[in-house]
Chains A and B, each alone.
Chain A
């Protein structure tokens, strides 16, 4: 049982390049989330998908797009990377309402130079 799997674990991009961060869960969870973590700021929600077929903006969506490909997979795309997007990105999932625990992936450390 792998839980939440994020790929890649590390990535260095040049300014203006694009890339997609992948997230997959094998727990049959309905809701999935993308967060970014910057030093001293905790985690901030970028986008989330409450159920398959729906996506909504979080607190810091600018510069990102998402796709809920199916129930298992939720990807995060940077179309034109900027140094301000240097961060650690976490994907998380829960089954649904009254599911008390988030399950987090292990994170993707992204550096934009």
Chain B
């Protein structure tokens, strides 16, 4: 199956700092999404981004499909950004919603 590697595994930020999370994947994909799992376990979709760049408030994401990686940027981090960020992909030949998740990046934002 497709391999999804996320880095770094853990990240500690002071409030107001910027950071970049990376997702590498091993095969061509037709679906790539970033999810946030808050400290209470709820999973929320952040971006659908199989290619290109998108921005939503303080978060933005870029996927370079030809080089098989995606980046999630957090700017001016807030304590509410704490949690685990997952990258998930669907291989081009697979069913649309059949995601392969990375192991996640645990982010802790301190006041």
Contacts and interface: CB of A to CB of B under 8 A. Distances in A.
Q: Do A and B bind each other?
A: yes
Nearest to A98: B96
A43 B98 contact: no
Interface residues on B, range: 20 to 34
Contacts of A100: 33, 45, 48
A74 interface: no
Contacts of A56: 95
A82 interface: no
B43 A90 contact: yes
Nearest to A94: B97
A96 B96 contact: yes
Contact of B97 (A43, A48, A59, A90): A48
Contacts, number: 61
B101 A102 contact: no
A97 B41 contact: no
A53 to B, nearest CB: 15
A44 B104 CA distance: 12
20 contacts: A31-B96, A33-B99, A41-B103, A42-B101, A42-B103, A43-B88, A44-B101, A45-B99, A45-B100, A48-B95, A48-B98, A50-B97, A56-B95, A92-B97, A97-B96, A100-B48, A101-B48, A102-B35, A102-B97, A102-B99
